[in-house]
Amino acid sequence: MNMAFNEDGKNNKMHKATPVVRWIMFLPAVIWMIFIFYMSAQTGGESGSLSERITRPVIDLLDHIFNYGEHYAVAFDRMEFIIRKCAHMTEYAILFLLIFFPLKKCAGVSWKAYMVGMIIAVIYAGSDEVHQYFVEGRHGCISDVLIDSAGAVTAAVLTALASNKKTILAAVCIVLCGVTGVLIYV
At residue 1, the pLDDT reads 39
- On average, the pLDDT of the chain sits at 76
Burial-class residue 103 by CB neighbours within 10 Å (0-12, 13-18, 19+): buried
Backbone angle region of 137, left / alpha / beta, with phi > 0 → left and psi within -120 to 50 → alpha:
left
Helix residue spans in the chain (DSSP H) = 19-25, 27-40, 44-61, 63-66, 76-107, 110-133, 142-163, 168-185
pLDDT at 81: 78
pLDDT (mean) for 122-143: 88
Higher-scoring residue by pLDDT: 2, 55: 55
Compute the average pLDDT of residues 53-57. Answer: 72
Cα separation, 117 vs 169, whole angstroms:
21
* Interval 76-100: pLDDT, tens: 667 777 778 888 899 999 999 999 9
Contact criterion met (CB below 8 Å) for 146 and 182: yes
Cα separation of the two ends of the chain: 57
The residue-averaged pLDDT of 30-42 equals 90
